[in-house]
Structure 1
Amino acid sequence: MKKDAYLIYSEDYHSYQFNENHPFNPIRSQLVYELLKESQLINDTDVLFPRVATDEELLLFHDSHYIEQVKKASQETINEQIAEQFGLGTEDTPIFKNMHEASSLIVGGTLTAVDAVLEGKANHAFNLGGGLHHGFKRKASGFCVYNDCAIAIKYIQKKYGLKVLYVDTDAHHGDGVQWAFYDDPTVCTLSIHETGRYLFPGTGGVNERGQGKGFGFSFNVPIDAFTEDDSFLVNYKKALSEIAEYFKPDIIFTQNGSDSHCYDPLTHLCTTMKTFQEIPKIAHEIAHKYCEGRWIAVAGGGYDYWRVVPRAWANVWLAMTNQQPSSEQIPKSWLEKWQKESNVTLPKTWTDDPSIVRNIPRKKEIEEYNSQILNRALDPLYIQQKKPFI
């Protein structure tokens, strides 16, 4: 019997660790998994262990020379100047031992999710370790060594021959995935992110619409800093609904960064847990409307990994399995264990975000700006004509 969903998780995801002070902390996936377990929202039969991606699979997107350099970095035998040419050994993406193996496991986890859905074992699958959307063909970037999202979409194309709608709600623009398919009309990318005027990677403007045969299949909605729940969700729901109707995908692939939350230390958006409850519900609805339920989800950014990430990503699983926690309260066992480890006060409920400042400056102007950006992003003239820029 086909399951609603599988969760892809392993403690071995902890091996993707740059250093102790780096904002990307792999403990995030463990926090989510244990929250689901302690809340009795998941059992052992719901979990698949990730496999390691092969070099052949990595080569679906990445350049062979780049992979060789990652392997050298992995064994700490790479020349420092050569490393920097490939984005390795930088402040964002420091070199760590067994980097290649740890990165290949994350990619393999996303491919495990793909096969679980497309071999008919489940309608949905969620890789807690995935979502490394900044990696490029020949370069690491933004905490991302191998781009599991781009590799997985290439894998779907090669093995299953399906049209993919990629939806990215990370606060940072999904640049690596967008450029990977910028001229490909069988992959449609939608990224809703904080404007690049203030935030890495500085790309993702509304004028980035694809090129050649791919023109009209790249969509960006760069919302303003300090955007709150209502404006974010209006943009997300309208963009996703209209683009899905236009593209009519065979499968939906979502990157679920949780760094648009107002607690996140690296971004300037101001959403709450309300947004992270609604995002996967809408994705679930779209998947069943257009894709016979086929939905792959990965994690992504999220750097308040104590208060935000566990609840935000748990909500993806709840949407996939049509569940709700039996109590609004976070389990005491989970709180007691992790409160000792954290340096912040953990929220005691699934929805409460204490001490959020509601006095957002320029609220009306921000909402008007976001509305204008959305209209430009979905300009029907561009969608219908699909004329490339000269």
Structure 2
Amino acid sequence: MRDQCSFIFSEELLKYKFNAHHPFNQSRLQLTVDLLHKLNALAPEQIIQPKMASVEELALIHDQSYIRAVKQAGEGTLPKDRAENYGLGTEDTPIFPNMHEASSFLVGGTLTAVDQVMTGKALHALHLGGGLHHGFRGKASGFCIYNDSSVAIKYLQEKYHARVLYVDTDAHHGDGVQWSFYDDPSVCTLSIHETGRYLFPGTGNINERGQGPGYGYSFNIPVDAYTEDESWLEVYSQSLKEVAAFFKPDVILTQNGADAHYYDPLTHLSATMKIYREIPRLAHEIAHQYCHGKWIAVGGGGYDIWRVVPRAWALIWLEMTENTIGHGRLPDEWISDWQKLSPFPLPPEWDDPDDLYTPIPRKTEITEKNRLTLEKALYPIRS
């Protein structure tokens, strides 16, 4: 019998839109949902409407003064100097009308996913509109206004008294979530990301291990630029297995940014669709091994919205629902419907060709460097 799964989605999630030229483009949700529909892989009864997070729920993590500022910004009444103090009105997080309401739906979607899983209505829940991991207690950052994962983890703690393992495979460090629980031993964070030497936010070094009672519960594995599939998967597989065995969570929350792919315009990694098969497969396995199957997954980054994100995110749902259809050719109807809008030729198949890019000359050096980083990052639980 297949696991019961919930897919959190509504058109309200598309209203989180900075402007027409911003790289954070929620059209990727439409592309993914349409791909799943054309595969006949998403039934109407599996789709759950997100709620809007209340101010009280947002305040589990965010300062009340910041929430008020976001509301005022969306109403056009926040002075520019005050907006800048809150990280609003910047190039990364421009102000747009009704931004509080749009952002609250993203948070509410993740809380809806939490409730679906923790009340037993579903064993797994996917909310691709979530994953805004850079938001801070009192400041917007990196395209993120409210931090839905941080709010959801605090909600999991207070409502369900759960020990949470947060796993972040976005190419950018999951800084906002890490700092939210840096001194909390009941939350374990694992972030695998491109080194901050070349990439925002510049944090996520291996020596960021937590503080006070939370020391030893933050794990960071910054991989080198141009890291390829085999090295990335070695780091992911070993770290997730060992961290889960160390922490033994009640529930796993995975952030699934799809920006480690070679095509992504904002990062410098050289992964292909191979990693986006393995990321949900191993998360699924770990959830059943340690959490009686309790697995909540959210979206995140991913800025090639045409060639990468729909395939990567659809594979999460196919894994959750134990559907093996994600091989071979993509649906011709999906390709023809979206090709007229895409600036790139859409991929004809689920998997990338072997010659996607010119071989990386430093492959051996990068692989060894990543192994050393992994060893240092996991040293406290290996020793």
TM-score range, shorter chain: over 0.9
Whether 2:173 is the aligned partner of 1:138: answer no
2:291 aligned with 1:291:
yes
In the alignment, the residues of structure 1 paired with residue 152 and residue 344 of structure 2 have an alpha-carbon distance, to the nearest angstrom, of 36
Per-residue deviation, 1:333? 1.3
Matched residue, 1:159:
159
Residues of 2 paired with 1:214 and 1:352: CA distance? Answer: 40
SS in 2 for 1:188: strand
Cα distance in 1 for residues equivalent to 2:360 and 2:382: 37
Distance in 2, Cα, partners of 1:289 & 1:358: 39
TM-score by length of 2: 0.98
Query: Structure 2: which amino acid aligns with 1:292?
Result: H
Q: Counterparts of 1:326 and 1:85 in 2: how far apart (Å)?
A: 45
**1:202 lines up with 2:196 in the alignment:** no
- Is 1:25 aligned to residue 25 of structure 2? yes
Q: Which 4+ runs in 1 deviate beyond 4 A?
A: none
Distance 1:327 1:276, change over 3 A: closer
| CA displacement 1:224-274 (0-9 Å, x = unmatched) | 000000100000010000000000000000000000000000000000000
What percentage of residue pairs aligned between the two structures are identical? 60
**Corresponding residue for residue 358 of structure 2:** 358
TM-score (norm 1): 0.96
**Aligned equivalents of 1:197 and 1:290: distance in 2?**
34
2:34 maps to which residue?
A: 34
**Secondary structure of residue in 2 paired with 1:126:** strand
Give matches, 1:103-142, under 5 Å. Answer: 103-142=103-142
SS in 2 for 1:334: helix
SS at match of 1:369: helix
Equivalent in the alignment of 1:149: 149
Whether the 8 Å CA contact 1:172–1:200 is kept in 2: the answer is yes
Aligned positions, number = 383
> Relative to structure 1, is the Cα distance of residues 303 and 60 closer, same or farther in structure 2, using a 3 angstrom cutoff?
same
Secondary structure of the structure 2 residue equivalent to 1:91:
coil
Residues 131-159 of structure 1: CA deviation (Å, up to 9, x unaligned):
00000000000000000000000000000
- The amino acid of 1:143's aligned partner reads F
Q: Distance in 2 between matches of 1:48 and 1:265?
A: 32
Partner of 1:6, secondary structure, is strand
Task: Name the structure 1 match of 2:71.
Answer: 71
Assess, with a 3 A threshold, how the Cα gap between structure 1 residues 223 and 50 changes in structure 2: closer, same or farther.
same
Give the drift of 1:4.
Answer: 2.2
Q: Secondary structure at the match of 1:378?
A: helix
Deviation, 1:356, is 1.8
Give the CA deviation at 1:12: 1.5
**Contact 2:315–2:326 (8 Å) recurs in 1:** no
C-alpha distance in structure 2 between counterparts of 1:357 and 1:149, whole Å: 34
CA distance in 2 between counterparts of 1:361 and 1:306 reads 28
Q: Which runs of 5+ in 2 are unaligned?
A: none
Does the 8 Å contact 1:2/1:122 carry over to 2? no
The one-character-per-residue Cα deviations of 1:256-313 (angstroms, maximum 9, x if unpaired) are 0000000000000000000000110000000000000000000000000000000000
Matched AA of 2:170:
D
CA distance in 1, matches of 2:370, 2:246: 21
Aligned positions of 1:1-390 closer than 5 A: 4-325=4-325, 328-353=328-353, 356-379=356-379, 382-383=380-381
Q: Deviations over 1:77-118 (max 9, x none)?
A: 110010011000000000000100000000000000000000
Return the offset for 1:383: 3.5
* Structure 1 Cα separation of the partners of residues 378 and 202 of structure 2: 21
Change over 3 Å in CA distance of 1:20–1:355 after alignment to 2: farther
- The question of whether the paired residues in 2 share the 8 Å contact of 1:2 and 1:121 is answered with no
SS in 1 for 2:88: coil
Cα distance in 2 between the residues matched to 1:241 and 1:282: 9
Q: 1:355 to 1:344 in 2, by over 3 A?
A: farther
Q: 1: CA distance between counterparts of 2:75 and 2:120?
A: 39
Q: Tell me the C-alpha RMSD between the 2 structures.
A: 1.3
Contact 2:38-2:331 at 8 Å conserved across structures: yes
User: How much has 1:329 moved relative to structure 2?
Assistant: 1.2
Counterpart CA distance in 1 for 2:207 and 2:321 is 37
The 2-side partners of 1:111 and 1:149 are apart by 9
Alignment partners' CA distance in 2, 1:25 and 1:267 = 16
Separation in 2 of the partners of 1:354 and 1:58?
A: 45
* 2:3/2:320 contact within 8 Å kept: no
Equivalent residues of 1:9, 1:109 under 8 A apart: yes
CA distance in 2 between counterparts of 1:2 and 1:184 reads: 35
- Per the TM alignment, residue 327 of structure 1 is displaced from its structure 2 partner at its CA by 5.8
Secondary structure class of the residue paired with 2:167: strand
Q: Is the 8 A contact 1:87 1:93 kept in 2?
A: yes
Following superposition, the deviation at residue 352 of structure 1 comes to 2.6
Q: CA deviation at 1:2?
A: 9.3
Q: Helix, strand or coil for the counterpart of 1:122?
A: coil
> Which ranges of structure 1 fall in alignment gaps of 5 or more residues?
386-390
